[in-house]
Structure 1
């Protein structure tokens, strides 16, 4: 871990506290049920942390495995020999998975994870794309929509492949970008087949 934006006044040897209010997070839907605050919370007694759900219900801070409606801040980690430093990681109970929380606290700087990129882990869900099987001879399974074209008393089926833009313009977290790309991800498999049928005419080949 690397310390960034550590607001220490070297002349007075005090930390320039930044009041942070209503910081938005969502508890992961799978273990570990932890979030990391945008800044490291100041260690104080009583605590400077205040965490509530989206309905304004206040959670209780504990110093052990949290139950539903409780949270456990990681105050046990000291980085670079700084006694007041910790990871800013908050652990929740599995019963609170997926819930939106808002955190208010005294921020003393940010913590940057400087591990190599392929060691970083983000919990994501599977792609939202359905499994599809399309036979281009006229029948299609699990297609998205239907359309008609032209007129007359005879018809034949067809399959149209449409290409859509990927991630829309906007501001995202890294997790949101990766999850959005996974939701849109899919692979194609081309299978060659031979279908035999009678020509249903008078040529004599349908014996």
Structure 2
């Protein structure tokens, strides 16, 4: 777990906190009844947290399992040996499940967690592979380019399928990797059909 946009002045060793007012959340309808704030709150005594229901009722902060209309911040967590560490997670009582809350606090940055993969959005373009169709039928076979070998007055067509390597070695950003994969992406569809035609040769059928 790490903090993004950690507003710490490394020269003065002072946090440049940002006051956040009225951040809206909803207590989950099922266990665990926890809410994670958008930022990590500054851990102070007394606490800078203020939580209220949508109707204006102020909740009480506690340092143990909360009862109704109470919340318990994870201030007792001392991860990595840092006394002021916390993740901005608040625990509520089951009696408050589904209720809307508004939270005000001093923010110090954003916790990066497993939700990032669902929150991150990258703009990419469509695949560079063209839409192509090849029909295998007697001698009339083509796929982008023709290829011939040998001699004679008879010929038959064929299609070659070539497999190429994927992404070449190198250093890429996440966006570049995804775009490369999209550019090389394609799907194959096999369709079976029947051609009907008249026989113009002497088949030996006198009937």
Larger radius of gyration: 2
Distance 1:95 1:6, change over 3 A: same
In the TM superposition, 1:188-207 aligns within 5 A as none
Q: Structure 2 CA distance, aligned partners of 1:24 and 1:70?
A: 17
| TM-score normalised to structure 2 length | 0.54
Distance (whole Å) between structure 2 residues aligned to residue 3 and residue 93 of structure 1: 27
1:46 is matched with: 46
- Counterparts of 1:152-171 in structure 2, within 5 Å, are none
Question: Structure 1, unaligned stretches of length 5 or more?
Answer: 119-207
The CA deviation string for residues 88-131 of structure 1, in whole angstroms up to 9 with x for no partner, is: 0000000000000000000111111158969xxxxxxxxxxxxx
Distance 2:11 2:51 in 1: 33
Query: Could you tell which deviates more after superposition, 13-22 or 79-88?
Result: 79-88
Partner residue in 2 for 1:19: 19
**Equivalent residues in 2 for 1:175-194, closer than 5 Å:** none
> Mapping of 1:37-186 within 5 angstroms?
37-114=37-114
Deviation at 1:77, TM superposition (A): 2.4
Deviation at 1:2, TM superposition (A): 1.7
CA RMSD between the two structures: 1.9
Q: Is the 8 A contact 1:2 1:114 kept in 2?
A: no
Q: Secondary structure at the match of 2:32?
A: coil
User: Structure 1 116/96 Cα, relative in aligned 2: closer, same or farther at 3 Å?
Assistant: closer
